[in-house]
Amino acid sequence: MTRILRNSLLAAAALFVGAACTDPTVAPKSTINSETVFSEPTAYKAYLAKLYAGLAVTGQQGAAGNADIGGIDEGFSQYFRLLWQMQELPTDEAAVSWGDQGIQELNTQIWGSSNSFLGAMYYRVFFQVAMVNQFMRETSDAKLNARGVSTALKDEIAGYRAEARFLRALSYWHGLDLFGAIPLVTENSAVETMPAQATKQEIFDFIVSELTAIQADLPAARTGEYGRVDRGAAAMLLAKVYMNAETYIGSEKYSEALTEVNKVIAGGYTLDPNFRRIFSADNHTSPEIIFAVAQDGQKIQTWGGMTFLIHASVGGNMNAGDFSIDGGWWGVRTKLVIANLYPALGPASPDARSRFFTTDGFNTTMTDLTNFTTGVGSPKYTNKTSTGANGSHPTHPDTDYPMFRLADAYLMYAEIALRKPTAGATTGQALTYVNALRQRAYGNTSGNIAAGALTLSFILDERARELFWEGHRRTDLIRFGLFTGATKVWPWKGGTQAGRTTDAYRALYPLPASELIANKNLTQNTGY
Amino acid sequence: MTRYGVFALLATLCVSEPALAQNTKITGTVRNADGGAPVFGATIEVTGGAATRGALTREDGRYTIAVEPGTYTVRVRRIGFSTDSAAGVVVRAGATATTNFTLRASATQIVGVTVTGYGTQEVRDITGSVKAVTAREFNPGRVVSAEQLIQAKVPGVQVIESNEPGGGISLRIRGGTSINASNEPLIVVDGVPLNVGGGLSSGRNPLNFLNPNDIKEITVLKDAQATAIYGSRGANGVLMITTKSGSAAEPVLTYSTNFSTSSVIRTPDLLSPNQFRTAVTTFANSNVSKLGTAQTNWLDRVLRSAGGIENNISLAGIRDDARYRLSLGRLRQDGVLAGTTAERTTIAMTYSDLMLNDQIEFRANLKGSRSDDQYTPGGVLGNAIAMDPTQAPLTGSSYFQWTDPLGPNNPLADLAVLQDRGQTYRTVGNIEAKYFIPRVTGLSATVRTGFDLATSQRTSFSPSYAQQDKETSRGGRVDRSNPRQFNTVFELFGNYNRKVMGATVDLTGGYTYEDQTGDYPYYYSQGLSTDLLGINGVPSAQITQNSLYVEESKLISFFGRANVSYADKYLLTASLRRDGSSRFGPGNQWGLFPSVAAAWRLGDEAFMQDLPFSDLKLRFSWGVNGNQAFGNYLYIPTYTFGGPQAQYQFGSQYIATIRPSAVDPNIKWEQTTSTNFGLDYGLFNDRITGTVDVYTKTTDDLIFTVPVAAGTAVSNFVTTNIGSMKNTGLELGLTAVILDGRTSPWKYDASFAFSTNTNELTAISGSGTDQILTGGIAGGVGSTIQVLQPGSPVNSFFVYRHKKDANGQYVTGDKTDAQLYEDLNGDGVINQNDREVYKNPAPKFIVGHTSTASYKNWDFSLTARAYLGNYVYNNVASNLGHYSGLRGGAPTNRHASVITNGFVNPQYFSSIYVEDASFLRIDNISAGYTLRDVFGARSARAFVTIQNAFTTSKYSGVDPLAGVNGIDNNLFPLSRTITAGLSIGY
């Protein structure tokens, strides 16, 4: 008995040790590895959706959780929130009142290389780039053939790849515009080697060649699904890149820009008769939008994005319910210099573009950057629909971010007509386009301008009036040579209430300090 | 030790024996004459008859030697004791002769054994830095979690409490060794390493399942000699917990009961209602109309005197060879913050016996616990601090609430309507059989299996009429998570102890297998169709979301250790452990962790005999430990599915996304190399005893989440092995018997534990300028106040240097950044690039003191602790110390520092808020009175204890011990507890 018991115990022990119990490998349980994920054909579309979602949300959970990038609060890391802040806060169009780490530096052009918002934007750009590169590698012909992907799906994937390349070009444009000379990493770059710093010219050329190359694989303007890019969007992006070529590569490309602008205008977009709809919860129905980043109260949630843009612009005496949100965040408002470009502010203004401004409870002179109620209230975006219905969620709006719209194309046309008459744009047509915008704004011809009023400085002001808070201001001011320096100062430029000269190098943001450590090939932008 | 070694061991075990003399034997127990404690490891030699046979006594002092019938002489030898022998022991066929011994200890020797990894060892033979704290020395009073028992008792051990009953406790043994992996020591209960805990019930201490009353001894293994046998998990030290078992022949029934009351010691300094009104009038005049007319102390409304009650009953004894103990405990402790209650019921059973002709020693331990926790809804404390003190709590019969959703919610309303509770069941058990190999004296094999099953549920409910739901119009919401973790351990090891040519050799080798699984289901429903079900059901809802995460990990190890003692003066230990972990990819799964140690019992040398040393031992150890306490599957590139709220719109459809993860497939073990020099001393016949230790711990291949070059990975941070850290320190322990009770009825012992540790992050990626921000604070979003930077201690504060005026006072008032802060990089502007490393939260020196005294039937004890040179970021002051918070839709109360500082805008990153938090605290004072043989009881003791009796500190916040990271952000309030109780033994 003794021996039987003991020996069976020992035998069991020996069996245990001798059997599979020396291999510690454990396969992951609730996550899928890259070998298996593409066995489901829907994975390609899901990955493409993530490439778009990279502009819209901050992680895999929605609202917050499982963030895409680290080193910053997840809600702060949303793509177009960061982009908007960097394009608007250092200009005359906006100031934020909050005290979050580093955010005040954006108001006054005194940022340094360790500012976490600037770093986050840089990493957002390269998150998109790396995601697209990986998508391109995973959808190479060799990979698709090896996986036995059907011909029909392969054709579809060809379109996906074009869209992915558009998104990569878009991010490279943002990177070029904000940071200047950055590394150029593509699907063909060696993985895990330190990328070299490209020149601005190389980034510019890459964007141009990519956008040119993908045209054929994209649907014609306004024929694709909402939320996805088409040839109209590609032409618009290319137009924006050419438009600012002088900033990027030191030589102008207005003729090339005009070609693309004309493609956009010929694309079938029309001015939205209801200006307010472009910024409302039903703006996905607007015929004017060329490319928007989708937001949805139930399905596409973020603490950045429109959640930020709408909540942050509400505060003071404003009633949050009027914007179909659950409360204002008392964050961003505009400066009087911009408000004064309009004939009047508030609902009674003849210009529809200034009817959302409010001065109720505001000291319109911005005496204190950190006091929301100094300045002019500017709740341009709303979670109400154009017909006054509430959005589907009081925290996370349904309102999409209108990145590109027809009015911008019209104004670019007019600007090209003035800057380079030889390119082929006529001032007559330019006046027609500009007055089309003004007629929409005034509801009649009372706001129309005469040919003599159509000057470059009018264009800059009109861009401010029309495209206020749409993320163009910094780039526009740089193109006009007014962002830094002494020619144009506005309150809090350089950190004083009156405003003062800033150094020219601040037209580019610094490369993040952490990136300079991680990638020894990089040289910091001049001045930082 | 290799797996082949294990087979060899098994082969040895399987040799069958001749069926002779099975039941003919000599047995007995060896006890210490002073107190009757069993003497372990005494050598028994039987002479006469055919051959000399021997055995060693086991932990309970018992021995058994199978012999042939005859007459024998039995001798017993034990270092530190006088020898003894019994002649003419007659053994008849099939019978058992019993020969017991009582040995006298030699006065100048340290005796006793202590637990080590996979065994026990003579204290005098130990070559490493090990400190045992026995139940007698434990901190008295209301102790919810086992770690609190050894607070201030062991040099180099920091116990950082959360002040919340049953809340999480952090332990640091000789400082932290990691950034992204855990810094908590490995906890081993009755030989079984605990893996379960993290993530089970958030904010609760995983050791809550253990009733402190069931613990006999806690042994802290500090240096690599002691911890290397736990290989990959020993880098942060090891806490070995031994639970009680039967120790006396007659059954002992013990009943104890105690009651306690706790009251808050200190609350944050806030503006009074009148000061608040003045401030609003001055700085946010438009909000004056929003003020009320009441004088409400919101904190008083949410804080309370909290009661506690505890009852324990146990039955323990020895019958024949069997030792047993059964215990049942029940504890209920309210928190001083209304809404927090911890209840716990524990049951513990231990049983050990000699079986199969005394060849097998069998042990079983089973512990079960049920914890019921009620949590104060999140935000209650913060809202009570921020709430406008001029508002009355109630307007008529309804709670006052701000209309602005950004304003704090009425904490009393939240307390009344929100529910948040959790329940955890945990069972930990192990069965162990130790087989004494016949005829090979000192050879044994042990097989041990253990399991640890924990299931938990946490449910919170927020009705549609709760303010947070009204504000967002989202309707009622119920959340529930049901994590379950299951851990199994199998261990097989052999031990051989033998004297060879004047040397005692003790060899241990074995194999362990651990498998841990966890599954984490979670759901929430929002927009509930009715509030009536509360937390007890889920009605139809607008949104219901479910998730499930499942994980598994394995750890497989082979280990071996040799202890050699020559002439009882020269001691040598070497150990080697090979660990295989599922957390690493192919090629990196296995790690090798060696250690060597040597000690010299200098005090036993002849030339030392004239000196006053009763004991003097020099120790040296070196070893390598690993750390793998971080997430699973980090080496595998995976795709993460997107949730339903993170989709993207394609036309009228919403597409769920997938995202590849950025991983380092070559991720591997962190390695900590430790060196320790130490000495143990005893003076004047052990009137004064103590230890001195000097150590360095260098951690390389730190598992670190660091920024990677943009574009090279699908995220900007990747978790990889990069960076190094160093801890160096000195520890002193001293215990003095000041009055020994011989010349007067007074006995008085005093002990001191002193330690200093210096931590430095030596490298992150090789570049000297790396800065990784860490240490999130309240104030702004995503703001951080600490930094990881080479050359500085981990989590150093990272702030603007606040300017001082001509008188050396900080510049205050409503000023610009340029007026308040030094432009450290001299670029003419103050921005994030001007922040500097300034102080850190780790104490420079820690001193612990324990006094125990007795007079006749009275006993007294006192425990005190001092930290010197630790800094705390006063986040309550920084977050509320500016007038701009009076603006907005709901003016919120301010920290009183605003009056002296006069800041209008927040100055979160000012060095002003990094405060010296050195302190002296009397942790507890206790007095007891013992009666013997009263009312049929053997003894009865009544006691009273005051915990957190007294604290002195320059720190301006509520508790200078502000968590492990030194950020004081609305900590659970520190309370003083008075406990009175009675224990009776029958």
Average pLDDT score over residue span B950-969: 90
Cβ within 8 Å, pair A189-B713: no
Residue B14 has a pLDDT of 35
Question: Is the model's pLDDT at B765 over the cut of 80?
Answer: no
In this complex, the residue of A6, A49, A100 whose CB is nearest that of residue B650 is A49
Q: How far does the CA of residue B794 sit from the closest CA of chain A (Å)?
A: 17
pLDDT at B21: 43
What is the H or E stretch that residue A85 is in?
helix A79-88
> Average pLDDT of chain B?
87
With a cut of 60, say whether residue B250 has pLDDT above it. Answer: yes
DSSP A220: P
In the predicted structure, residue A1 carries a pLDDT above the cut 70: no
Of A24, A33, A394, the CB nearest to B581: A24
Q: What is the pLDDT of residues B458-501, one digit of tens each?
A: 999 999 998 888 877 788 999 999 999 899 999 999 999 888 88
- The interface residues of chain B toward chain A in range 399-418, judged by CB-CB distance below 8 A, are 404-406
Greater confidence (B439 vs B453) lies with B453
Sorting pLDDT into bands at 50, 70 and 90, what band is A6? low
- Please state which of the ranges A13-27, A225-239, A393-407 shows the lowest mean pLDDT: A13-27
The rounded distance, in Å, linking the Cα atoms of B190 and B446 is: 14
Query: Quick one: average pLDDT of B701-714?
Result: 85
Range B356-360 average pLDDT:
79
CA distance B286 to chain A (A): 9
Predicted pLDDT at B470: 82
Say what the pLDDT of residue A438 is. 97
Whole-Å CA distances, B461 to B476, B536, B645, B943: 8, 9, 21, 41
Q: Which residues of B touch A65 (CB under 8 A)?
A: 643
Residue B921, C-beta contacts closer than 8 angstroms, at least 6 positions apart = B864, B865, B866, B948, B950, B951, B952, B961
Q: Which residues of B touch A181 (CB under 8 A)?
A: none
Q: CB count, 10 Å around CB of B315?
A: 16
CB contact under 8 A, A328 and B638: no
Q: Which residue has the higher pLDDT, A201 or B741?
A: A201
A114 touches chain B (CB under 8 A): yes
Higher-scoring residue by pLDDT: A465, B439: A465
- Alpha carbon dihedral A156, A161, A162, A167, in 10-degree steps, equals 130
- Would an 8 Å CB–CB cutoff place B633 in contact with chain A? yes
B716–A98 C-beta distance less than 8 A: no
A72 in contact with B, Cβ within 8 Å: yes
3-state secondary structure B629-644: CCCCCCCCCEEEECCC
B185 in A contact zone (CB under 8 Å): no
B738 by DSSP, 3-state: which? Answer: strand
User: Which of the residues A127, A282, A393, A400 would you substitute to probe the B interface, choosing the one with the greatest number of B C-beta atoms within 10 Å?
Assistant: A127
Render pLDDT for B29-55 as a digit per residue (tens, 0 to 9): 888 877 677 787 788 888 876 666 777
Residue type for position B592:
L
* Separation between Cα atoms, residue A255 and residue A417, nearest integer Å: 10
Q: Residue A351 has what pLDDT?
A: 96
Q: Which residues are CB-contacts of B632 (< 8 A; sequence separation ≥ 6)? A: A26, A28, B551, B552, B553, B582, B583
Residues 6 or more apart whose CB falls under 8 angstroms from that of B285 comprise none
Residue A115, Cβ density class (10 Å: 0-12 exposed, 13-18 middle, ≥19 buried): buried
User: Is the pLDDT at A512 greater than 60, yes or no?
Assistant: yes
CB contact under 8 A, B714 and A127: yes
What is the SS3 assignment for A409-438?
HHHHHHHHHHHCHHHCCCHHHHHHHHHHHH
Taking the Cβ of residue A56 and every Cβ of chain B, the question of whether any pair is shorter than 8 Å is answered with yes
Determine contact: B392 vs chain A, CB below 8 A: no
pLDDT at B874 over 90: yes
Match 């911008």 to its residue by tokens.
Answer: A408
Confidence band, pLDDT 50/70/90 cuts, at residue B928: very high
Residue A17 predicted with pLDDT over 60: no
Q: What are phi and psi of A297, to 5 degrees?
A: -60, -30
Token duo for residue B741: 């009770």
pLDDT, position B288? 92
Higher pLDDT pick, A20 / B897: B897
Please give the pLDDT value at position B4.
44
Q: What would the mean pLDDT of B121-147 be, rounded to a whole number?
A: 84
pLDDT class of B16 with cuts at 50, 70, 90:
very low
How, if at all, do strands B871-874 and B858-868 pair? unpaired
pLDDT-derived band at B108 (thresholds 50, 70, 90) equals very low
Given CB atoms, is A99 within the 8 Å cutoff of chain B? yes
Contact B650 A226 (CB under 8 A): yes
**pLDDT tens-digit map of A52-72:** 999 999 999 989 998 999 888
Tell me which of B647, B663, B873 to substitute to probe the interface with A (most A C-beta atoms closer than 10 Å).
B647
Place A168 in a pLDDT band, splitting at 50, 70 and 90: very high
Worst-scoring range by mean pLDDT, A56-70, A93-107, B243-257, B936-950? Answer: B243-257
Answer whether B648 sits within 8 Å of A56, measured CB to CB.
Answer: yes
Report the pLDDT value the prediction gives residue B320, as an integer from 0 to 100. Answer: 77
pLDDT at res. B107: 47
Residue B45 near chain A (CB below 8 Å)? no
Distance from C-alpha of B325 to C-alpha of B329, rounded to nearest angstrom: 13
Instruction: Tell which A residues from 434 to 453 touch B, by Cβ distance under 8 Å.
Output: none
**pLDDT over 60 at A285, yes or no:** yes
pLDDT, position A390: 95
Nearest-CA distance from A122 to chain B in Å? 8
Q: What is the mean pLDDT of residues B208-221?
A: 88
Specify the pairing of strand B25-32 against strand B101-103.
parallel
Give the per-residue pLDDT at B296: 93
* B699 has a pLDDT exceeding 80: yes
Q: What is the distance between the alpha carbons of residues A291 and A235, in angstroms, rounded to a whole number?
A: 11
Per-residue pLDDT at B169 exceeds 90: no
Which tens digit of pLDDT belongs to each residue from A360-369? 999 999 999 9
Least CA distance to B705: which residue of chain A?
A70
Mean pLDDT of B945-959: 92
CA B193, B195, B201, B204 torsion: positive or negative? positive
pLDDT tens digit string along B361-417?
A: 899 999 999 989 899 988 899 999 999 999 999 988 899 998 887 889 999 999 999
**What whole-number distance in Å separates Cα of residue B691 and Cα of residue B328?**
37
Q: Which residues of B touch A21 (CB under 8 A)?
A: 490, 513, 556
Could B556 and A17 be called an inter-chain contact, meaning their C-beta atoms sit closer than 8 Å?
no
Partnered with residue B160 across adjacent β-strands are B170
Q: Is residue B2 scored above 50 in pLDDT?
A: no
Residues A122-141 have a mean pLDDT of 96
Q: Residue B691: which region, alpha, beta or left (left: phi > 0; alpha: psi -120 to 50)?
A: beta
pLDDT at A469: 98
Mean pLDDT in residue range B729-735:
94
Residue of B716, B782, B834 lying closest to A100 (CB–CB)? B782
Tokens of B181: 């992996």
pLDDT in tens, B46-93: 887 666 677 778 777 888 888 888 888 888 887 667 788 888 888 888
- Would an 8 Å CB–CB cutoff place B783 in contact with chain A? yes
Question: How many A/B residue pairs have CB atoms within 8 Å?
Answer: 347
Per-residue pLDDT tens for A180-231? Answer: 999 999 999 887 678 999 999 999 999 999 999 999 999 999 999 999 999 9
Cα gap B945→B947, rounded to integer Å? 6
Q: Is residue B249's pLDDT more than 80?
A: no
Contact B779 A99 (CB under 8 A): yes
Contact between B152 and B647 (Cβ < 8 Å): no
| pLDDT for residue B12 is more than 70 | no
Burial class (CB in 10 A: 0-12, 13-18, 19+), B525: buried
| Euclidean distance between CA atoms B644 and B29, whole angstroms | 69
Cβ–Cβ contact A505 with B under 8 A:
no
Strand bridging mode B398-399 / B419-436: unpaired
Chain A residues within an 8 Å CB radius of B404:
327-328
Q: What phi and psi values does residue A221 have, to the nearest 5 degrees?
A: -55, 135
Q: Which of residues 198-257 of A touch B (CB under 8 A)?
A: 225-228
Q: Measure CB to CB from residue A30 to each of B511, B548, B661 and give the nearest one.
A: B548
pLDDT in tens, A291-331: 999 999 999 999 999 999 999 999 999 999 999 998 899 99
Say what the pLDDT of residue B347 is.
95
Mutate to test the interface with A, among B584, B716, B787, B827 (most CBs of A within 10 A): B716
> Contact B709/A28, CB-based, under 8 Å?
no
Q: Could you tell me if residue B254 is left (phi over 0), alpha (psi between -120 and 50 degrees) or otherwise beta?
A: beta
Question: Does residue A159 surpass a pLDDT of 50?
Answer: yes
Q: How far is A431 from chain B (nearest CA, A)?
A: 35
